[in-house]
Amino acid sequence: MTDTHFPERVTLYPVMAIRAARRSSRVGGGYRLYVLAKALDTQGRGSVSRDELREYALSLGVSPRQWQRWIIEARNNDLVTDVQRASGEWELILPSAGVAAYSMGCDGVGTRKAEMSAADLIGPGWKARVWAAYEATHNGKPISRERMQKIVNVPVSTQRYRDAQAGVVRQQNYAKLKAKADSLPGLVEFGTRHKALYVRKDGYIGSRKPDSRFTDIALRAGKGRARKANATLHRMQRNDGLSLMRQALSQDVTPETDATNDQSVYVRLFNFTPAQRRASERKIAKLDLSRRDLYEFSHKAKSGSLVWVEC
C-alpha cells in the first residue's frame, strides 16, 4: 500500500464542521475535503497537490463520484482555488480558517480545535462523529443542551440523536450549595437562580446541574489560533457590514440574560482543580457581574454522577 504516508489524524474547528453538516449548507463534503487538504499541508504552505488530495480522499473510502461532488462544493464555497503550476501540476490553494469560516457563513469558529481520525470524517455517521468532537471541546464540563443549541444552533433532539449514534457517554452533575436544609422554604418562596433543588443527606441543599458528556472519538486540541481565526472572520464581517452582536464572555462561562435589560448579569463556572477555580475567580473579578455561581469538583458519586461544591 502507498497510503501509509497520508495523515491518519486531522484537526478541525467543530463549530465549522457543524455548520457544514447542516443539510442546507451544501458544503458537507466540500468542508471535509478542506479539512483533509489542511491535514495534507503539513508544512503550512497554503496549498496542496490536487492529485495527492484525491488519492488521500480515495484511500479513505471516498468514491470517485463523491470526490467529484465534494471538490465542486469546495470550489463553490471558496474553500479551494485551482491553480496550475509551470510543471503542469494542478494545485489547490487553501484559505486560512478565518477566511474559510467567512466563506461558509459562520459567525465564529468557536474557541477550541478538536483532533480526530481522518477516516471518521468519511461514511455514515460522520455528522454524529463531528458532533462528538464538539462535545469533546467542553472537556467534561457541564453544559446544557439548551445552551449548546444557543451556541451552535443545533436542536436538542438532533443533539440527542447524534450523541446516541456516536456513543457519547453522559454523566449527571449535582451541586452541593452552601445553604442548609432549613433555608429551603425561603429559597422556594422567594426564588433562586438554582434549579431542581433538594435536601441532601448531609443536610445541605443540592441542585441538579447540566450533564457532562464524554467521548473517545475526538480529543480536545489546544486553543491554537482560534483567536486569530475569529479576528480575521469578524474583520471581514465588519467590512461587509455583517458584524453580529457577540457574547461578552468566553465559552468557558455560561452567560444568562436578564430579561429586564438584556445584559449578561450571571455566569456559572465549573472547575476541576483548585488552580482552575482560582483562575476563574480572577476572571470573574474583572467582569463586574451582579451574580455568579462558582463550583469546584468534589467527587464521583457511587451512581457515577459528578458532585460539585459551591464556592
Partner DNA sequence: AGAGTAGCCTATCTAGACAT
Partner DNA sequence: ATGTCTAGATAGGCTACTCT
Strand-pair category, 306-310 with 291-300: antiparallel
Cβ-proximal residues to 120 (8 Å cutoff; 6+ apart), any chain: 126, 129, 217
Q: According to the binding rule CB under 7 A, does residue 192 interact with DNA?
A: no
**Least distance (Å) from DNA to the CB of residue 38?**
19
If the CB atoms of residues 96 and 171 are measured against DNA, the closer one turns out to be 171
CA-nearest of 153, 36, 49, 174 to 105 is 153
Q: Indicate the angle between helix axes 28-40 and 50-59, nearest 10 degrees.
A: 110
Burial class of residue 57 in the structure, from the number of CB atoms within 10 Å of its CB (0-12 exposed, 13-18 middle, 19+ buried): buried
124 binds DNA per the rule CB under 7 A? yes
Number of residues that bind DNA (CB under 7 A): 32
Only one of the segments 110-118, 154-162, 234-242, 265-273 lies at the binding site for DNA (rule: CB under 7 A); that segment is 154-162
Half-sphere exposure (Cβ direction) of 185: Cα atoms closer than 13 Å: 1
Nearer to DNA, 13 or 70 (CB): 70
Beta bridge partners of 47: 93
Q: Is 149 in the site for DNA (CB under 7 A)?
A: no
Is the sign of the CA dihedral 185, 189, 190, 194 positive or negative?
positive
Q: How far is CA 256 from CA 32, 245, 267, in A?
A: 34, 15, 7
Query: Which residues, in sequence order, are CB contacts of 69 under 8 Å at separation 6+?
Result: 29
Q: Interacting stretch for DNA, rule CB under 7 A, among 119-127, 264-272, 286-294, 299-307?
A: 119-127
Residue 16 near DNA by CB under 7 A: no
Residues 199-218 touching DNA, rule: CB under 7 A, are 211
- Listed ranges 117-125, 233-241, 257-265, 286-294: which one lies at the site for DNA (CB under 7 A): 117-125
CA distance 164 to 42: 34
**Using rule CB under 7 A, residue 155 touches DNA:** yes
165 is a contact residue toward DNA (CB under 7 A):
yes
Cell 486553543 found at: 223
304 is an interface residue for DNA by CB under 7 A: no
Q: Select the span of 88-96, 100-108, 153-161, 173-181 touching DNA (CB under 7 A).
A: 153-161
Residues 21-60 that bind DNA (CB under 7 A): 21-24, 26, 28-29
Residue placing its CB nearer to DNA in the complex, 160 or 246 = 160
- Residues found near DNA in the complex (CB under 7 A): 21-24, 26, 28-29, 61, 63-66, 68-69, 123-128, 154-155, 157-158, 160-162, 164-165, 170, 172, 211
